[in-house]
Structure 1
Amino acid sequence: MEYLLQVKIGALFGLLLLTLIFGFIPARVTWFRNTNGTETHRTVLSLISCFAGGVFLAACLLDIIPDYLEDMNTALDSNMMEINFPLPEFIMAVGFFTVLILERMVLNCREMRGTVNEWAPLIQDNRNGHGHGHVHGSTVLEICIAILVHKSIIVFSLSVKLVQSAVRPVWVVAYIGVFAVMSPLGIAIGISVMEAQLAAGTLIQAVLEGLAAGTFIYITFLEILPHELNSPGKQLLKVLFILLGFIVMAALTFLG
């Protein structure tokens, strides 16, 4: 087995294990699940949520979208495709609307069943307070390490959001499990596509990246940031922690 393939497979299993560990820390620690704590407790949790919002914003703008656009343009050039249409942006929009439509359909079905109290947006106001497929050699190992660090921060932030949004524990486990599986699954699909050496392999990979980017845009701009910025209290401090989360991820992206 060649070195590059070994690194990819190692990243697959390492990413799954690390994501599960960091994802279940907030779910298992009672302090994160306490929504009726003191004012200080609620403030700290709110600031953690703001930091998570900055993390998601940076990951979206500085990592996922630029990587996708670069891979998409490379794929179009390699297949000698000239399109007078913003195809990369359209694919991201498809991913965005896919999540939006699915979420609205689920909420509508639950509303029709009369279970209004059992559903709410992912981040509800119930408290007061991917690597490049064209990179070779040892550079892949560096990218894998960067992805592991990014993924750990993101899944920890997501888990904090889930445990603070009245989601049932069984669903928290399911959400974190699905989230943890998605990246390794994407790596596995990427490995399969590249190993199969399909003529349109790079294009298929780029399209999948675009759909993922669209879902990330939805989560960042319609779920996380509006919740924190629209809730009252300590607005400047919230902005500071959003900026701090952004800076941390920007630094990791720069170093990675």
Structure 2
Amino acid sequence: MDYLLQVKIGALVGLLLLTLFFGLIPARIKWFRDTNRTELHRTVLSLISCFAGGVFLAACLLDIIPDYLSDISAELDVRKVETSFPLAEFIMAAGFFMVLILERIVLNCREAASTDSKVLEICIAILVHKTIIVFSLSVKLVQSAVRPLWVAAYISVFAMMSPIGIAIGISVMEAKLAAGALIQAVLEGLAAGTFIYITFLEILPHELNSPGKQLLKVLFILLGFSIMAALTFIG
């Protein structure tokens, strides 16, 4: 088996296991699920959520969107596609609305039911980013009083997305499809849209509009952003 293929398959398995492990930690630890919250308990959870917001913001602005815009621009140039329509931005918007529509459907259903070395470096960076993000997402779900079964379902779906993406990428590249790079760029755009949605409609508004510790919340957002910025710079 080719070395690069081994790395990709290893990343696929590693992403799935690490995401499930770190994603289910908050759901299994009683402290995160405590409903009789003290002021300190609420503050800690809020600051963790703000840190998550900074992580998502950095991943979105410093990693996903720049890579996507570069890739989609290169692919459109190769195919000599010239248009005044902002196609790259439209694909990101499609990812944004895809998450919005899916979330509304899930909420409505729940209410109705009453409740090479470069490749290796990239894989390691993805593993680190994914671990931070899924832990933050899980804390956010638990903090929002989502039922444990739903938390497990959300984390499982989230955990499977990257491995599925890697599997699709491996299939496309191994098949040597002419449109392989274009397909990858479009998927990156959809992913960018989902990050924009989660960052600006889910995490940041909820925390910054709730009273108390406003400056501390901003500092934790900056902390999350700075750590991800450092990881991006190193990677």
Aligned to 2:120: 141
| Separation of aligned partners in 2, 1:81 and 1:195 | 26
Indicate yes or no: 2:75 matched with 1:96. Answer: no
Q: CA deviation at 1:64?
A: 1.2
Structure 1 consecutive aligned stretches of length 4 or more whose deviation exceeds 2 Å: 77-84, 101-111
SS at match of 1:90: helix
| Separation of aligned partners in 1, 2:181 and 2:73 | 10
Pairs within 5 Å for 1:44-193: 44-108=44-108, 113=112, 115=114, 118=115, 137-193=116-172
Return the match for 1:251 from 226, 230, 233: 230
| Separation of aligned partners in 2, 1:171 and 1:109 | 12
| Separation of aligned partners in 2, 1:181 and 1:104 | 21
Note the residue ranges of structure 1 that are not aligned, 5 or more in a row: 119-136
| Separation of aligned partners in 1, 2:107 and 2:150 | 15
| Separation of aligned partners in 2, 1:32 and 1:191 | 37
Contact in 2 for aligned 1:79/1:200 (Cα 8 Å): no
SS at match of 1:47: helix
**Per-residue deviation, residues 145-172 of structure 1 (Å, max 9, x unmatched):** 0110000000000010011111111111
| Separation of aligned partners in 1, 2:41 and 2:103 | 31
Q: Relative to 1, partners in 2 of residues 1:35 and 1:98: Cα closer, same or farther, differing over 3 Å?
A: same
Q: CA deviation at 1:231?
A: 0.2
Contact in 2 for aligned 1:35/1:42 (Cα 8 Å): no
What TM-score comes out, normalization by structure 2 length?
0.95
Q: CA deviation at 1:21?
A: 1.0
SS at match of 2:85: coil
Q: CA deviation at 1:82?
A: 2.2
Indicate yes or no: 2:188 matched with 1:218. Answer: no
What TM-score comes out, normalization by structure 1 length?
0.87
- Aligned residue identity for 1:190: G
Aligned to 1:128: none
Q: CA deviation at 1:237?
A: 0.6
Q: Relative to 1, partners in 2 of residues 1:114 and 1:150: Cα closer, same or farther, differing over 3 Å?
A: closer
- Aligned residue identity for 1:45: L
Q: How big is the alpha-carbon RMSD for the aligned residues of Structure 1 and Structure 2?
A: 1.5
- Aligned residue identity for 2:4: L
| Separation of aligned partners in 1, 2:107 and 2:163 | 29
Indicate yes or no: 2:11 matched with 1:8. Answer: no
- Aligned residue identity for 2:86: P
Q: CA deviation at 1:81?
A: 2.2
Note the residue ranges of structure 2 that are not aligned, 5 or more in a row: none
> Which range is displaced more, 96-105 or 86-95?
96-105
| Percentage identity across paired residues of the two chains | 83
SS at match of 2:80: coil
Aligned to 2:173: 194
> Which range is displaced more, 72-81 or 147-156?
72-81
Q: Relative to 1, partners in 2 of residues 1:109 and 1:153: Cα closer, same or farther, differing over 3 Å?
A: closer
- Aligned residue identity for 1:192: S
Q: CA deviation at 1:22?
A: 0.9
Aligned residues: 235
Q: CA deviation at 1:33?
A: 1.1
**Per-residue deviation, residues 109-147 of structure 1 (Å, max 9, x unmatched):** 555x494xx4xxxxxxxxxxxxxxxxxx31110111011
| Separation of aligned partners in 2, 1:22 and 1:180 | 10
Q: CA deviation at 1:106?
A: 4.0
